[in-house]
């Protein structure tokens, strides 16, 4: 009997049965946005990542990452036993499975479903201006119901994250956060500060992107050749132009009328003088 118990103990220790660690975790990201397949547990010896086709992508063992799939060579990193994918290049959705081995020999599988959503825009592009004399730049987002905002620059580098608190990841920026407004300010902005994107997550689970375009001080030749006019703002100018044209036409017509009247008077005077000269000439002839 005791031999049976020993064999059962050896079998239980040496053979690991694959159980699910937890329910499937759904992850929603924008195209190009990084995402993390997290595993925050103690006693882990090894974590292997497998994609939906069953291909092993990478493995973390003893704190070292080994990438087994060349597609992920330059866009996969590790933090602890969690995998971080730098760019969401997958389309629509994809499933991953983390095969976890513990120090005690037990084993389980954790499943992830990653959904890549479209670039839904929060609103039209917001214009931000670099103000003199300190060349400061201010970026703000003031919409209700926001859960989290991640602000990135034009090379997709994260500058700040808000989730209950404002965490600034770049020392060149300062900011503030209240119940409805997120504001980030950069003193001494340069010509490199031209585009920013805020990735916004709302409390109801919806997401959107807010793009910012920065206007840098200096001569902008486009404004001289391609004016950015609002048709409504042109109405007063059109009215003033029309009035000036009418005044000019009326004045010109008046000058023409006066000129015609004057010319008519001169012609009448000449005719009269010619008539008088003719009478005088005929009287002289008679004498």
Q: Write out pLDDT tens, residues 65-103.
A: 999 988 888 888 888 899 988 766 666 678 899 999 999
Cβ atoms 48, 59 nearer than 8 A: yes
C-alpha 19/C-alpha 101 separation (Å) is: 11
Is 279's pLDDT higher than 90? no
Residue 59 has pLDDT above 90, yes or no: yes
Between these two residues, 174 and 286, which has the higher pLDDT value? Answer: 174
| Of 28 and 46, the one with more pLDDT | 46
Geometric angle at alpha carbon 257, from 246 and 249, rounded to 5°:
10
Tens-digit pLDDT profile for residues 248-267:
877 777 766 776 666 666 66
What average pLDDT is seen over the chain? 76
Q: What pLDDT is recorded for position 114?
A: 86
Q: What's the rounded Cα separation, in Å, for the pair 201 and 146?
A: 6
**Residue 188 confidence (pLDDT):** 83
- Tallying the residues shown for the chain, one arrives at 287
Rounded Cα gap, residues 14 and 105, in angstroms: 7
User: Which DSSP string corresponds to 204-236?
Assistant: TS-EEEEEEEEEPSS--HHHHHS----GGGGHH
**How do residues 109-133 score in pLDDT, each as one tens digit?**
999 988 776 667 788 888 888 887 7
* Each residue's pLDDT tens digit, 163-186: 888 888 888 888 888 767 888 888
Q: How far apart are CA 191 and CA 217, in angstroms?
A: 9
Strand order in the sheet with 35-37: 35-37, 82-85, 76-79
Query: Are 100 and 110 contacting, i.e. CB atoms less than 8 angstroms apart?
Result: yes
- Please determine, for residue 34, whether its predicted confidence score (pLDDT) is greater than 90: no
Residue 29: per-residue pLDDT: 74
Domains and CATH numbers, the chain: 16-116 (2.60.40.10), 126-231 (2.60.40.10)
Alpha-carbon distance of 93 to 27, in angstroms, equals: 10
Element (H, E) at 128: strand 126-131
Q: Is the pLDDT of residue 196 over 70?
A: yes
Question: Is 182 within 8 Å of 166 (Cβ atoms)?
Answer: yes
Strongest mean pLDDT among 11-15, 81-85, 281-285: 81-85
């Amino acid at each position: 009997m005791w031999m049976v118990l020993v064999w059962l103990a050896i079998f239980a220790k040496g053979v690991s049965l694959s159980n699910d660690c937890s329910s499937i975790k759904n992850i929603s990201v924008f195209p190009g946005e990084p995402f993390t397949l997290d595993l925050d547990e103690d006693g882990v010896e090894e974590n292997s990542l497998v994609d939906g086709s069953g291909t092993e992508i990478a493995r973390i063992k003893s704190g070292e990452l080994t990438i087994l799939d060349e597609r992920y060579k330059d866009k996969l990193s590790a933090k602890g036993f969690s995998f971080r994918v730098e760019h969401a290049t997958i389309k629509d959705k994809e499933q991953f499975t983390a095969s976890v081995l513990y120090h005690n020999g037990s084993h389980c599988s954790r499943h992830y479903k990653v959904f890549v959503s479209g670039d839904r825009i929060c609103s039209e592009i917001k214009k931000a201006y670099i103000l003199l004399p300190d060349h400061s730049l201010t970026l703000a987002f003031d919409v209700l119901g926001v859960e989290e905002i991640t602000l990135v620059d034009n090379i997709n580098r994260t500058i700040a994250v808000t989730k209950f608190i404002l965490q600034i990841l770049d020392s060149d920026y300062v900011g503030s956060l209240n119940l409805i407004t997120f504001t980030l300010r950069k003193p001494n902005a340069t010509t490199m500060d031209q585009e920013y994107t805020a990735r916004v997550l709302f409390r109801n689970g919806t997401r959107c992107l807010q793009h910012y375009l920065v206007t840098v001080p200096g001569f902008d030749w486009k404004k001289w050749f391609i004016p950015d006019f609002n048709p409504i703002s042109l109405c007063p100018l059109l009215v003033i132009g029309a009035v000036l044209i009418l005044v000019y036409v009326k004045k010109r017509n008046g000058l023409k009328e006066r000129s015609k009247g004057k010319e008519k008077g001169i012609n009448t005077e000449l005719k009269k003088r010619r008539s008088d000269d003719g009478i005088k000439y005929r009287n002289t002839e008679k004498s």
